[in-house]
Structure 1
Amino acid sequence: MAPYRQTSDLPQLIPVFPLDGALLLPGGELPLQIFEPRYLNMVDDAMAGDRVIGMIQTRGGSRSRPVLAHVGCLGRITSYAETSDGRYLITLTGLCRFDTGEELDLRLPYRQVRARYDRFGDDLGRDEEAEAGEAARARFATALKRYLNQRELDIDWETANEAPLEALVNSLCMGLPFAPAEKQALLEASNLPARFEVLTTLLEIDASDPDDEPHRLQ
């Protein structure tokens, strides 16, 4: 991983991959399958340079050129493979969120923006040992169990119990089938405790069976 210790180390001009419903968070890992020619071109250029791509959602506009969301997340390509039919299988590891600045018209098949990282410097120095209080953890576990039951989904509860809070929150935020607007709210939460609260609230909105027993997370 490149030694990005402060926001001034990060590239200012970045390619962006607009993909609604796909969430990348700082420290998270997002596997992607690339097959459109313009994004194959983007990955080629990224691999020849800083190996970074900005994941971003959209907020309306035309289908051919949607309006970009105000906030995205810069990721670095940390895994790369090419299939026999020309697709790229890559993994992006989240580095830092960014505010979407000026979009540049460089006559490339993909889009590029000037990224502003000023508000998100703490993303580069995350406290992975942060924990939630017992009451917050129990509330979260109850909401998560009800959410999963409603959708007939399951997780490895033993692993969830043992996971550091950041790893658990990142994996659920990125992996659960929230709507794009909800994914964006999770991305824009100011820090890990705030994201944990947003995640818990979103889970609670979908909780429907008050008789469910909570599946306690230690």
Structure 2
Amino acid sequence: MSAPAELPDVLPIFPLGGAILLPRGRLPLNIFEPRYLQMVDDVLRSDHRLIGMIQPRVEGDRRRLYHIGCAGRLVAFSETGDGRYLISLRGISRFRLLDVRDGFTPYLRGQVAWDAFAADTGAPETDPGLDRERLRALVGDYLGRLGIDMSLEELDDGEDEHVINALAMVCPFPADEKQALLEAPGLAARRKALMALLEIHAHARNDEEDRLQ
């Protein structure tokens, strides 16, 4: 795992709403826009093979980027017959976006700082407060109401960090809620936020169903 001192100060930036990457997580991506095809080509030629994933946010009529994202190392690559790239990123560390540089490439590049997230490149976290039975019930209810069929077997024996971070990444929460999960200072805080969001959405769905009856 890379140490913060070995990570670059400038990253290619891939803005993608509704999608977050967390340290040690895996994020599959389907790349088809020409500018991002070039970005992948450039990343494959780089020493670090890192892409900075970050969510856009809308403020009034202006589109900006959130300040916190996560860098992923390109660990799998294939090209389709119609010219798309199918890639997979492994989360390395979160970063703070300091500035956006444009004009040199068709895609954005960002000046970033890593110092606030040194723990991201350390050992995987554990969460003694994780109630797997309660989490399974909340996730099952949430996904069931959305009509999403997903195996929850890893909730029983997966490592704490993998379980919590994988759910934070795959649950289709709104962008601002996904961002709150990304920015949580530690695994226990992320688990608490995740379970709170699942409960909020369950109550909101119940209220909506009551109004329709």
* TM-score > 0.5 by shorter chain: yes
TM-score bracket for the superposition, by shorter chain length: 0.7 to 0.9
Q: Secondary structure at 2:153's aligned position in 1?
A: helix
Does 1:179 pair with 2:177?
A: no
2:15, 2:55 within 8 Å by CA — same for their partners in 1? yes
Identity of aligned residues (%): 44
**Shift in alpha-carbon separation, 1:157–1:42, aligned structure 2, 3 A:** closer
Does 1:114 pair with 2:105?
A: no
Over aligned residue pairs, what C-alpha RMSD do you find?
A: 2.1
Q: Secondary structure at 1:170's aligned position in 2?
A: helix
What CA distance in whole angstroms lies between the structure 1 residues aligned with 2:157 and 2:145?
A: 24
What CA distance in whole angstroms lies between the structure 2 residues aligned with 1:187 and 1:9?
A: 22
Gaps (5+ residues) in structure 1? 211-218
Q: Shift of the alpha carbon at 1:165?
A: 1.2
2:132, 2:155 within 8 Å by CA — same for their partners in 1? no
Q: Shift of the alpha carbon at 1:78?
A: 0.2
Does 1:197 pair with 2:192?
A: yes
Does 1:142 pair with 2:137?
A: yes
TM-score, structure 2 normalization: 0.88
**Shift in alpha-carbon separation, 1:157–1:69, aligned structure 2, 3 A:** closer
Within 5 Å, give how 1:156-171 maps onto structure 2.
156-171=151-166
Work out the number of aligned pairs and report it.
Answer: 204
1:78, 1:90 within 8 Å by CA — same for their partners in 2? yes
1:131, 1:164 within 8 Å by CA — same for their partners in 2? no
Gaps (5+ residues) in structure 2? 207-213
In structure 1, the residue matched to 2:14 is 17
What CA distance in whole angstroms lies between the structure 1 residues aligned with 2:60 and 2:15?
A: 13
**Shift in alpha-carbon separation, 1:111–1:150, aligned structure 2, 3 A:** same
- Which portions of structure 1, spanning 4 or more consecutive aligned residues, are displaced by more than 4 angstroms? none
Within 5 Å, give how 1:52-71 maps onto structure 2.
52-60=50-58, 66-71=63-68
Q: CA offsets, 1:76-123, max 9 Å, x none?
A: 000001112111110010000000012223431000011101110000
Q: Secondary structure at 1:149's aligned position in 2?
A: helix
Q: Shift of the alpha carbon at 1:62?
A: 9.5
Q: Shift of the alpha carbon at 1:56?
A: 0.5
Within 5 Å, give how 1:93-108 maps onto structure 2.
93-108=90-105
Amino acid at match of 1:203: L
2:154, 2:163 within 8 Å by CA — same for their partners in 1? no
Does 1:152 pair with 2:150?
A: no
In structure 1, the residue matched to 2:71 is 74
TM-score, structure 1 normalization: 0.86
